[in-house]
Amino acid sequence: MSSPESPRIIGSLADLPDSARGAAHLVWWGNLGFMLIEGTGFVLAVGCYLFLSSASAAWPPAGDPLPSLWWSSIFTLALIASEIPNLWVKRRSGEHDAAAVRLGVLAMTAIGLILLFLRACEIAALQPSWHQDAYASVMWMLVILHSSHIVTDWGDTLVQALWLHTHQIGDDQFADVEDNCNYWTFVVVAWLPLYAVIYWLPRFA
């Protein structure tokens, strides 16, 4: 093993902070990377839907009902409304308000549970079954793909709530809460074009 020449020391980093938030934080960028991957997946899945619809004489195919608007619209409105507490939690975590963050993340866990119930109702109303034809298959795929994001984020929020209520919250954990809020916003925003494609496009196609 050899040693190279010593560099000349021109300063110290000891006075730098040991944490950051928002886009300055490393984990924020990791979160962005995974949102890019999943966002690409959503775009391509919508592309599959449009490809199959363009190859079909009728959309939905003859005999298939139009997708029901009732539960899907309730779910969509509730999902959009969840952004209000979500953004509030994000703001409070930016201000390092531990009590508000603990309460807010617990509330988001409960809201996630309500949304999962609404999504289950939406899925129960999905017609026809996925194995009926390609239209049904791709419609189910989009709903299941998005549902998997709600489930994973709900699990993440639940674990975060447990941890926040049992431990002292440091700067990195406030940043984690902020990142989780950003991810939820991604889940909400990703649904809106999916909702339009699944439930409204067949009505105008």
Partner 1 sequence: MTATAAGPGDSRAAQLRQTWRDPPGLWGFLTTVDHKRIAARYIVTTLFLLFLAGMLAMDMRLQLSAPGLHRMDPQLYNESFSLHGSTMLFLVSVPVMEAMALWLVPLMLGQRNMAFPRLAAFSYWLYLGGVLMLWLPHAVNITPDLGWFEYPPLSGPAYSPGHRADIWAQMITFTEVAALAASVNVAMTILKLRPPGMTLAKMPLFLWAMLVASLMTIFALPAVMLATSMLIADRLVSTHFFSPSGGGDALLFQHLFWFFGHPEVYIIFVPAVGFVSAIVETFARRPIFGYAAMVLSVLAIGILAFGLWVHHMFAVGLPRLGNDFYTAASMTIALPAGIQIFCWIATIWGGRPRLATPMLWVIGFIITFVIGGLSGVMTASAPLDLQLTDTYFIVAHFHYVLVGGAIFPLLGAFCYWYPKATGRLMSEKLGTLAFALIVGGFNLGFFPMHILGLWGMPRRVYTYPAGMGWGTLNLVATIGSAVAVVGGLVFVANALWSFWYGRRVGADPWGGPTLEWAARSPPPPHNFDLVLCVDSLTPLWKKELTAFDGLALDRREMLVTTVMEAEPIYRQNSVGPSIWPLMSALAVTLLFVGSIFTPWALVWGAVPVAIALTFWFWPTRARASTGPLGRRR
Torsion from C-alpha of 34, 44, 77, 185, nearest 10 degrees: 20
Nearer to partner 1, 34 or 117 (CB): 34
148 contacts: CB under 8 Å, gap ≥ 6:
none
> Which pair of structure tokens corresponds to residue 88?
């509030």
Least distance to partner 1, CB of residue 72, Å:
20
Nearer to partner 1, 76 or 177 (CB): 177
Nearer to partner 1, 76 or 143 (CB): 143
Evaluate the CA torsion angle 128, 133, 139, 144 in order and state its sign: positive
Least distance to partner 1, CB of residue 146, Å:
14
Nearer to partner 1, 26 or 84 (CB): 26
203 contacts: CB under 8 Å, gap ≥ 6:
66
- Give which of 30, 36, 43, 198 is closest to 127, Cα–Cα: 198
Evaluate the CA torsion angle 154, 158, 159, 160 in order and state its sign: positive
Rounded CA-CA distance 68/159 in Å is 34
Least distance to partner 1, CB of residue 32, Å:
8
Least distance to partner 1, CB of residue 112, Å:
14
Least distance to partner 1, CB of residue 165, Å:
4
Residues that bind partner 1 (CB under 8 A): 1-20, 24-26, 29-30, 33-34, 36-38, 40-41, 44-45, 48, 51-52, 55-56, 61, 98-99, 102, 130-138, 140-141, 151, 155, 159, 163, 165-170, 172-173, 176
Nearer to partner 1, 38 or 122 (CB): 38
Nearer to partner 1, 15 or 95 (CB): 15
User: Residue 111 burial by CB count (10 A; 0-12/13-18/19+): exposed, middle or buried?
Assistant: buried
Least distance to partner 1, CB of residue 55, Å:
5
Rounded CA-CA distance 111/134 in Å is 33
Preceding peptide of 128 cis, ω within 30°: yes
